[in-house]
Amino acid sequence: MRPVRGFDRPGLQWLFIGLGIVLIGVAAAEGVRLQQARTEIATLRAADLSARAEIEKLSAEAARERAAREAFSLQLARQRGAAAPMAQPTLTLSPVVKRGAQPPDPTVAKPPDHQPIQLRLLLPGRTEPQDARYAIIIRSWSGGDTVWTRTGLAMTTVDNKRMVTSFITGDVFAPGAYEVTLTLLVAGSGPADVASYEVAIRP
């Protein structure tokens, strides 16, 4: 192999040695930055998982508190009813064929926060087993945020109409529009949609 002309000069040799050292230093620095970035990503991922777990814990606590408040309200209503019988307020909703492009018009007055209400969801024409279990989910119409849910509900018949009912309290409904979803709980698989409902609360 023929030698490269001029490479035998000491100055040129030291120049290449210096460039090699610089490249090694740059590569080492990039390796350190990459390791730091991986560490930061792992830390952020752990913090995100911890935050999600905390949110789920708070949601579960809120659901338990709401269920306890509903039970207390119902018991209070029964005690008051023993002294002065009064009709149980109901909210009956029919299935919608298709979700509208605009929220429904407000047709229901805002109930008192501690008022027990029987929510009645009329079932569509198809027939499900008598022992079927259902879940009700109430979401805000525009944002889709879940504001209330209840599972393990059975079908019942009122005035020869098949429906799924559940007691709620007035604080579930702030003024605004809501979408109510009824799902069928199927063992061994995910829930199956049964029907959707809409309601809007006046101030």
pLDDT tens-place string over residues 24-43: 877 777 878 888 888 888 88
Q: Which amino acid is residue 111, in one-letter code?
A: P
pLDDT at residue 147, as a whole number: 93
**Whether residue 89 has pLDDT greater than 60:** yes
Q: Which amino acid is residue 95, in one-letter code?
A: P
pLDDT at residue 85, as a whole number: 45
Query: Strands of 116-122's sheet, edge to edge?
Result: 90-93, 116-122, 161-169, 146-158, 133-140, 176-185, 192-202, 108-109
pLDDT at residue 35, as a whole number: 83
Q: CB-based contacts of 149: which residues, under 8 Å, 6+ apart?
A: 63, 135, 136, 137, 138
**Could you give the CA distance from residue 162 to residue 120 in angstroms, rounded to a whole number?**
10
Angle at 36 between CA 31 and CA 38, to 5 degrees: 95
- CATH number for the 90-202 domain, one of 3.40.50.970, 2.160.10.10, 1.10.340.30, 2.60.40.10? 2.60.40.10
The tens digit of pLDDT for each residue in 43-84 reads 888 887 777 777 766 666 666 666 666 666 666 666 655 544
pLDDT at residue 175, as a whole number: 94
Residue 199 and residue 95 in contact, taking contact as beta carbons nearer than 8 Å:
no
Q: Which amino acid is residue 7, in one-letter code?
A: F
Cα 59 to Cα 56, 140, 148, 149: the distances in Å are: 5, 16, 11, 11
Cα 75 to Cα 5, 28, 31, 118, 165: the distances in Å are: 101, 70, 66, 14, 18
Q: Give the chain's largest Cα–Cα span.
A: 114
Cα 6 to Cα 12, 17, 190: the distances in Å are: 8, 15, 76
Q: What is the mean pLDDT of residues 133-156?
A: 92
pLDDT at residue 12, as a whole number: 62
Q: Which of 24-33, 98-107, 121-130, 160-169 has the highest mean pLDDT?
A: 160-169
Q: What is the mean pLDDT of residues 106-115?
A: 90
CA dihedral of residues 190, 193, 197, 198 (deg, nearest 10)? 60
pLDDT at residue 48, as a whole number: 78
Question: If you average pLDDT over every residue of the chain, what do you get?
Answer: 80
pLDDT at residue 62, as a whole number: 65
Q: Which of 16-30, 49-63, 127-141, 167-181 has the highest mean pLDDT?
A: 167-181
